[in-house]
Every structure is written in structure tokens, then in C-alpha cells.
Amino acid sequence: MADTDDHIRDRGVTRRVVLRDGTALTLAVLAAGAAGPFGGGVAVAVTPGRAQFLTQPELNTLRGLVDVFIPGKPLDTDHGALAAGCAEAIDALLGAFRTKPPRIFAGAPFSDRAGSPVNHFEDFLTLDKYERRGWRLRIEGSRGRKSLEFNGPVVGWQQIYREGLAALDEAAGDRRFADLTLAERDLLVRQNSDGPAGDLIDVAWPHTYQFMYGAPEYGGNRSLVGWGYTRWDGDVHPRGYTRAEVEEPLPEQEHLSPGEEALLAELLPLAPLASPEFAHNVVASSGGSQRALRAQLGLLVEGGLDLGGRDGA
């Protein structure tokens, strides 16, 4: 991303191509992570640019980070993480237990996007005591409470985000991270892949993609921008899909953002190996960590790892 904007715009493919042509493994990687909208992740109704759990400066730094992960217009031809509200959705996730019931699991069976007169997704479910304890531990951490440290201390997402965002601002020197150009922010993220900043990236990267492409009731995918450019209808029950919608390929698209072009380049050598089961095994074995996932992909490309019962050659 250190290239000029004109060079980036001339690269010739869009993130739509990644989502369409990268096979099951590409889709699984883009939705990777231990939790999020597809696995119980949460967010509340949010106001663009306004912090809820984080401080306003922290949210601004987070907005700068998610913009690195999924850039939008004018650099890309489509809207990115900022327009989708990914940073605000993550902020709401960190404060999930400030609402009753906690906004962890959206209701069922239907939204109102495909014929249902009622949006059941908006009615979040009450957690049982085990779910509540587990999610508080994941989000808030054990914080020295012995009753929660039966398997050792747990660092929660709240601490990871706060310490990581502070590390990014510190690395930016006499400016704040959010005030840097996109190319400067991208370079700084690449140069700070360890320590608190690296821990933050491991968590924020999957969260950003999950909120970008998850159901909007979880707080991201604002105005369905994540589904719009991919031409995906999202949840279609009770109407469902026609046979043509299932079987006919999408038309060719144009440009790809530079970060996703790099991801596609990593994944294409694995296309002959891909299956839903194989993709699931690759993502699950990474534990939701971006660093672990990319390390596994590198081994697969080199033919040194078998996660799906197939040779990695």
C-alpha cells in the first residue's frame, strides 16, 4: 500500500473477484476468527464516528486501522470498513454487557429483508449463566478474579484493544495514527506486528471482516454495503433462492484493493486443495489469529502441512 493511489487503482481486479473466485478457502479466511457476527459476535445500534465503550480518540485510531484492512472510496471502487461502520461495531462489541440482554446472539428465524413482516434478528436472546460467563471472560478478561482464572489469567478483548490502539498511536510519533495517510498507516501496521499492536491486529482483523460482511443487526455492514458490491442478497428466508441464483456465476468485475490483492495472491496456489471441510480446518487451526493463519498458509503453499486430509503439494 506504499504505492501511489494511481498505481493502486490500475491493478486491475476488485475485492469482488476475491470473494467470487478465491474458492471456499478465500471465503473462510475473509470470515476467519474465533467469534463475530457468524459465531455470536455482537454490536449495538451505533452512531457513525461516535464512541461508546472506547474513548473518542481510541475510536478514531480504530477507524484508521479498519481502513487499512478494507480501504474504501476513493482508493477502492467500493465502500470499505469505514462506510460499513466496522470500528463502531467493534466498539459496541467491547461494551456488549452494558445492555440487557447483552447483544451477543441475534434472534430468529427471519429478518424483514425477504418477506417476513417482523425482523426477529433485532430481538437479542437472553444468555444462560454459562454463556454469560464465557462471553464476559472473552470480552472483559479475568482481571485478577480468581473464580475466573481456573485455567490461568485471561486477557480480554477490552484490554487488547486499549493497549494495542495506544501502541499504534505511540508508533505514529508526534502525530496520531488516525492522522497518517493510508499508505503511512499500512506501513506502520506492517512494522508493528509484534507486542500489543500485533495482539490487536490478530483480533481486530477478523472482527473487521466479520462486521463488514455480517448481518447489519450486529452493528456493521451499514446500509448493506458489504453485501451490495458482492451482489449477495444476505439472508433470504423465508423467500429463499431461485435455482438460477444458486447456479449462475457472477459477471466479471474490475478493481481489487491492494491488501486483498495480496491476500488473493497467497490463496490462489491453494485453490486446487480447497473444499469447505479443508477451509474450515485451516481457519479453525489458526485459532482466529491473523499471524497464525498466514503462517499456516505459507506452509501449505510450500507443501509442508496437511490440514484437510490432502497433500499440501
What integer pLDDT is reported at residue 19 of this predicted model?
A: 44
Yes or no: say if 267 and 21 are a contact pair by the CB < 8 Å rule. no
What integer pLDDT is reported at residue 278 of this predicted model?
A: 63
For residue 204, the surrounding DSSP H or E stretch is: helix 195-213
Q: Where are the beta strands (DSSP E) in 160-230?
A: none
List, in sequence order, the alpha helices (H) in 39-128: 56-69, 81-84, 86-94
56-69 vs 182-191: helix crossing angle, rounded to 10 = 90
Per-residue pLDDT tens digits for 216-226: 999 999 999 99
Q: Report the distance separating Cα 54 and Cα 46, nearest Å.
A: 13
Cell of 218: 450486529
Considering the entire predicted model, what is its pTM? Answer: 0.69
Domain locations in the chain as residue ranges: 1-30+255-313, 33-240
Mapping DSSP to helix (H, G, I), strand (E, B) and coil, where does residue 166 land?
helix
Q: Report the distance separating Cα 135 and Cα 115, nearest Å.
A: 33
**Residue 263: CA count within 13 A, CB half-sphere:** 28
Yes or no: say if 211 and 36 are a contact pair by the CB < 8 Å rule. yes
What integer pLDDT is reported at residue 176 of this predicted model?
A: 96
**Residue 115: CA count within 13 A, CB half-sphere:** 9
Which portions of the chain are predicted below pLDDT 50?
Answer: 1-44, 307-313
